[in-house]
Structure 1
Amino acid sequence: MTPTPYPGETGPGTGGPRPRAPHPPGPPATDPRAEERLARATLTHLVEPGDEHAGRALHRHGATRFLDLLTLTRGHADHPDPDPVAFPGTSPARIATWRRRAATARPHHDLDRITRLGGRFLIPGDTEWPTQLDDLHDARPLGLWVRGPADLRAWALRSVALVGARTCTPYGAHTAATLAAGLAEHGWVVVSGAAFGIDGAAHRGALGNGGATLAVLACGIDIPYPRGHAGLLQRIAEQGILLGELPPGAHPTRSRFILRNRVIAALTRGTVVIEAQYRSGSLVTARAAARLGRHTMGVPGPITSGLSAGVHELLRHDATLVTDAAEIIELVGDIGQLAPHRQGPVLPRDLLAPDTARVLEALPGQHPTPLTDIATRAGTHPDHTLAKLYELHSLGFVERHHDDWRLTNSPTEPSNVRHGGT
């Protein structure tokens, strides 16, 4: 079933832009898409990411009408008070906050700023818009401020999120970098949040292997946060993609970090958590991914490490245990992309036929043992036992000492062993 389009959207299945009232005679009407883009750019300054009240109003009115309702001047003859039911269920305090912010919004300046940075502002209906974000419904982004040379939609279709603790251990950092490098080697895009710890290790692991990486920020994409990652962020902007919901110049807050995580979860095919305490934002990302029907994965750590306690709790309930890139790709990739079967090393004894192995096990050690004693221990006829002893002798397992037999003193290499017959 085709989903109900959001007002103002265009593209396949949307039915075109929302109809607007006829214009009176005069100058030609502006481009509806340009109007929509400008309105949504303004709303990213007014509305906090993930605000479902705003999302419902946007669905109800469209971006331009939503903005009109907020900016009408109370009591002015040309601008009567807005319909009191324009924002049902939304508190007056929230609406007042939107209006205060509207007075300081500078969308033309923001759009000019992103253009000068070599970026763009994407809105639903654009060909580069990743439609999997629509799974967030009323909490989906109003728009995305993007820097980087790649196509966001194409990259997001083949992406995996690697997230975890900021104060990670060397084990966690090494694991994140190794997984990211492995995913990059197989053509997958590594998505994270550019924070210290696991996020930074994942981005560097992908870049170090010549791969693709995407950082979702909780601030304006012109703000180098954290400052210690200014060089990394610049490198991602040049070789990968930086994106965020907030306009240029916006600074991060604690709540914006948490809300940013829903975008990481929705954008990617699956989320891998590498080191996370019980109250970790990374677990928020993983649980959001699970609610959205994405794959949720975790990398185990030492049971004595508090930094892995949250991952282990996740693994006990919703997540799949993974240890390398191949296991991740098996879950998120195409049918048939299976991780290699793993088993311990094949020992020479493993290649012996069962009755031959039984005779070998009957030798007590390197002390010479009579044939009859070996046959009794093995539960076989002496003649059959003797045949097996000669077979074991040819394979290098035993040696003859006069009429007795004992285990050889030298170890047997697997390359010298062939499967014994019956």
Structure 2
Amino acid sequence: MIRGTGASEEERRARAALTRIIEPGDEYGGRWLRELGAVELLGRLTAQPYAPGALAGASERRIEGLRVRAASAEPERDLAAVDAVGGRFVVPGDAEWPRQLDDLGDARPVGLWVRGRPDLRRWALRSVAVVGARACTPYGAHMAADLASGLAERGWVVVSGAAFGVDGAAHRGALAVQGATVAVLACGVDAAYPRGHAGLIGRIAEQGLLVGELPPGAHPTPSRFILRNRVIAALTRGTVVVEAEYRSGSLVTARSAQRLGRYTMGVPGPATSGLSAGVHELLRGEAVLVTDAAEVAELVGDIGDLAPARRGPVLPRDLLDPVSTRVLEAIPPRGRGATGREVAHGAGTAVDEALGRLYELHSLGFVERHGDRWELAAGATHRPNARRGGA
């Protein structure tokens, strides 16, 4: 399945070959690609014999390693393999290419292998990354799923890495509400990694998108996981981190987002939790604290995407005017009562005004009258923080 015809087929094949030769995020390779173009770069890597100095900036030993890879690259086979699983290879110049990836400069992907029906560029325009610890707590899993489902219900695309823990919870949260989700993989889009997420990755391929820099059949390595995170950061409007230790790939994503000028957000956890220590360190810097999808949408969304105002419950006595409040607070606790003159003295007002307020409070159910004395009605006890001078 081919979508977008911005690049020539010769360039598309060359870039497909280069994804087997150049590692993701290789800035030397990116510079050569920018200066020479994909076809010329591939030609220099496969030339027999190699012309010394044809590729400046790298050692001859390193170039020899790239040439070994180039000799075994079969782009037609890889393009056929991705087509067989309903995928495609998207390159710069295609209508589907997310142009925000260009912010990565020479670390920009050579191309993206994509599996799934939706248009990647359109989805990426309104997307948020939700990432975090693999060995997350139940709290972390709950927050990731809740954030993802809330964002999906608001029309946002949830992007993550399909790993165990927070990533998986985020994808499931979006899928649970029939929302949009994208998994950025550190392996080929025809593979399921981790194997324990084979079912989840299959659902994402059906309902959302699988995206990767590596060609079909490529396997993940620790460095590829780290480098994958820059794509997550660049692809989205902002990154939310839910639980992360001090040494965490999720923090790499967040810091990449910060360098790219994207929004960086963190969900706080217990101060004693090592799994939240990295998030809290982010929050001590330029990251923004968020607790739900509405707060995320307010930050990354358009004008008018405001989170609801947060406050405690409004009690009936909160609606009283200041004088009536002072009169009510001047009445002693239940069982003692006070005369109108005593209430006026305690409230700092005239007796006539105090009596007028007492009758109003009586009609509202706040006070009771017993002869010439006034008492608090049942349920109208003083709140500790309402007393003048109280904490």
TM-score (ref. length: structure 1):
0.87
Cα distance in 1 between the residues matched to 2:212 and 2:192: 12
CA distance in 1, matches of 2:320, 2:57: 75
2:374 maps to: 405
1:50 aligns with 2:25: yes
Q: Which residue of 2 aligns with 1:293?
A: 261
Shift of 1:86: 2.7
**Offset of residue 151 of structure 1:** 0.4
Amino acid across the alignment from 2:68? R
1:91-123 CA-to-partner distances (Å, cap 9, x unmatched) read: 222211111111221211111111111100111
Structure 2 counterpart SS, 1:120: strand
**Matched residue, 1:374:** 343
Q: Distance in 1 between the 2:314 and 2:363 partners?
A: 20
Instruction: Measure, in 2, the Cα distance between the counterparts of 1:254 and 1:150.
Output: 29
Q: 2: CA distance between counterparts of 1:364 and 1:140?
A: 72
1:287-314: CA deviation from partner (whole Å, max 9, x where unpaired): 1011111111111111111100100100
> Is the contact between residue 239 and residue 262 of structure 2 (CA under 8 Å) also seen in structure 1?
yes
Match of 1:138 among 90, 100, 106: 106
The 8 Å contact of residues 43 and 142 in structure 1, kept in 2 or not, is answered as yes
Deviations 1:391-411 (A, max 9, x none): 110111100011111101245
Per the alignment, in what secondary structure is the counterpart of residue 195 of structure 1?
Answer: coil
Equivalent in the alignment of 2:388: none
Cα deviation, 1:241-260, whole Å, max 9, x if unaligned, reads 00100011110000000000
State how 1:4-19 maps to structure 2 within 5 Å.
none
* Structure 1 unaligned residues grouped into runs of 5+: 1-8, 12-31, 75-80, 413-422
Paired residue secondary structure (1:396): coil
Residue 386 (structure 1) aligned with residue 361 (structure 2) = no
Shift of 1:284: 0.4
Matches within 5 A, 1:227-238: 227-238=195-206
Residue correspondence of structure 1 range 214-225 to structure 2 within 5 A: 214-225=182-193
* Residue 206 (structure 1) shift: 0.2
Among 108, 119, 141, the alignment partner of 2:87 is: 119
- 1:27-59: CA deviation from partner (whole Å, max 9, x where unpaired): xxxxx7111011111110011100000000011
Q: Write the distance in 1 (CA, Å) between the matches of 2:150 and 2:5.
A: 38
Does structure 1 residue 197 correspond to structure 2 residue 193? no
The match for 1:87 is 55
| Match of residue 416 from structure 1 | none
Whole-angstrom CA distance in 2 between matches of 1:354 and 1:331: 36
Aligned-pair distance for 1:383? 1.4
What is residue 174 of structure 1 aligned with on the other side? 142
Are 1:155 and 2:130 an aligned pair? no
**Match for 1:362 among 330, 343, 349?**
330
Q: Verify: 1:68 aligned to 2:43, yes or no.
A: yes
After TM superposition, the structure 1 stretch with the greater mean CA deviation from structure 2, 139-148 or 379-388, is 379-388
Bigger CA drift: 256-265 or 338-347? Answer: 338-347
- 3-state secondary structure, aligned to 2:8: helix
Instruction: Give the distance between the partners of 2:61 and 2:167, measured in 1 at CA.
Output: 36
Alignment-mate amino acid for residue 373 of structure 1: E
Aligned length: 377
Letter in 1 for 2:232: I
Residues 56-82 of structure 1 deviation map (CA, whole Å, 9 limit, x = unaligned):
0011111111011111112xxxxxx42
Q: Is 1:266 matched with 2:201?
A: no
Give per-residue Cα distances to partners, 1:358-399, cap 9 Å, x unaligned: 010001111222222211111111111111111110111100
Q: Is the 8 A contact 1:120 1:146 kept in 2?
A: yes
Displacement, 1:10?
A: 8.7
Amino acid at match of 1:40: R
Q: 1:28 — aligned with what?
A: none
Matched residue type, 1:370 = T
Counterpart of 1:373 in 2: which secondary structure?
Answer: helix
Paired residue for 1:24? none
Asked if 1 retains the 8 angstrom alpha-carbon contact of 2:5 and 2:95, the reply is no
Range with bigger deviation, 343-352 or 239-248: 343-352
Match of 2:156 among 153, 172, 188: 188
Identity across the alignment (%) = 69
Is residue 2:319 matched to residue 1:348?
Answer: no
Counterpart residue number, 2:298: 330
Deviations 1:159-183 (A, max 9, x none): 0000000000000100000110011
Unaligned runs of 5+ in 2: 382-391
TM-score between the two structures when normalised by the length of structure 2? 0.94
Which residue, 243, 246, 250 being the options, matches 1:282? 250
Q: Distance in 1 between matches of 2:270 and 2:64?
A: 50
Code of the aligned partner of 1:322:
V
Give the aligned residue type for 1:96.
E
8 Å CA contact 2:181, 2:209 repeated in 1: yes
Equivalent position of 1:27 in the other structure: none
Secondary structure of 1:190's partner? strand
1:163 is paired with a residue of what secondary structure? Answer: strand
Q: How does 1:226-265 map to 2 (within 5 A)?
A: 226-265=194-233
CA contact (8 A) 1:10 1:124 kept: no
* Cα distance in 2 for residues equivalent to 1:201 and 1:410: 44
